[in-house]
Structure 1
């Protein structure tokens, strides 16, 4: 199973196994509860489906790494973030969110398995191969899996392979490696601003510390 499928399956499985009360816990995304994050995953799955059926004959403009832009750190005030919160509340019951994620998420997973990885697709005014697009989404699934478990230590985390690949992509975006003493999870959390570095970590990071966090969008 490739990293997209493995990471996506692990994330969907973690959501499917959550008890209802966990949906009201904070997530690792600023201003979002777990239910809001799960609603965002439904939208992500729809984006995957849309992109994989939006072919392009143009030359690729980005790859799996340059697909990502460094953006302003989220504050929770963005109109689209607020819309996600309202959509999540409209589901009313966690089982409905679970059902919709399983339904659309399974379809996105099947579409990924059937996709021609060499074919070029278009998304957000960029062109890239389907393979690069799906590789980029390993980062999306991995970071959001970490967001899911931020306040839920009893929930299984993302696959080790996805963590390692996401760290490698983040290091390429940063143009610098994280210290070897950082676990893959810590490199991703600190690197994207999901956790503030400790005083000791700031010293270890050296010049890289001044360029963090790298919020991705």
Structure 2
């Protein structure tokens, strides 16, 4: 839960510090500008709030790692993706996106801080403890932080400890250990298809290259 707070605070701070013109830059999510990604983060924050007030008595069937699964790469035909772009454009001014993310995002952060980590909650037909649910979101926030700054070389990166945790989760989700010498950031970027490995990196990966990318959903 502590890593949830660190990763979420770092991501929200990075968005808050962006000048308006950077909202028109490409993000690491194919087909999305930074403004579209920020709009998606608002919806993510709403999902966190909804889930934290959706308790259940059922037994957990997922944890922070098994919440995620490897899925087929997106085709660009998802109607929700198109909706995000339209919603983001409707804000018109980056300041409005910033305000909404700060407002809803701060509420999600406070709700997470106050939540009982042992409480069971339900989302997407999954049942998790609050601690595991928030732990799963360390992956979401860390990857989207990398998406946010892909075209912003001077922007702050995710905290080192959340990069390390996200790497650990990716390797456990996929059952695919990456070279120990690689940085956590490069493992996440290459492992999830956000960056194409160089020839030298492909040589280090060996047969694992054929399995890339690992798209999480």
Q: TM-score, normalised by structure 1?
A: 0.98
> 2:56: which partner in 1?
56
Q: Does 1:80 align with 2:73?
A: no
> 1:32: which partner in 2?
32
Please report how far the alpha carbon of residue 181 of structure 1 lies from its aligned counterpart in structure 2 after TM superposition: 2.1
Please report how far the alpha carbon of residue 180 of structure 1 lies from its aligned counterpart in structure 2 after TM superposition: 1.4
Partner-residue secondary structure (3-state), 2:133: helix
Q: Give the aligned length.
A: 217
CA displacement 1:109-137 (0-9 Å, x = unmatched): 00000011011100011001100000000
CA displacement 1:70-125 (0-9 Å, x = unmatched): 11212433110000000000000000000000000000000000011011100011
> 1:167: which partner in 2?
167
Q: Does 1:192 align with 2:192?
A: yes
8 Å Cα contact 1:52/1:121 also seen in 2: yes
CA displacement 1:127-181 (0-9 Å, x = unmatched): 0110000000000000000000000111101000000000000000111211012
Partner-residue secondary structure (3-state), 1:127: strand
8 Å Cα contact 1:30/1:74 also seen in 2: no
Q: How does 1:71-110 map to 2 (within 5 A)?
A: 71-110=71-110
Q: Does 1:148 align with 2:183?
A: no
Partner-residue secondary structure (3-state), 1:202: helix
Partner-residue secondary structure (3-state), 1:121: strand
* Unaligned stretches of 5+ residues in structure 1: none
In 2: Cα distance, 1:102 partner to 1:66 partner: 29
Partner-residue secondary structure (3-state), 2:128: strand
In 2: Cα distance, 1:114 partner to 1:131 partner: 12
> 1:6: which partner in 2?
6
Q: Which moved more, 1:175-184 or 1:32-41?
A: 175-184
Q: Which moved more, 1:168-177 or 1:31-40?
A: 168-177
> 2:18: which partner in 1?
18
Q: Does 1:69 align with 2:83?
A: no
| Structure 1 residues 110 and 148: CA distance shift in structure 2, 3 A | same
8 Å Cα contact 2:70/2:174 also seen in 1: no
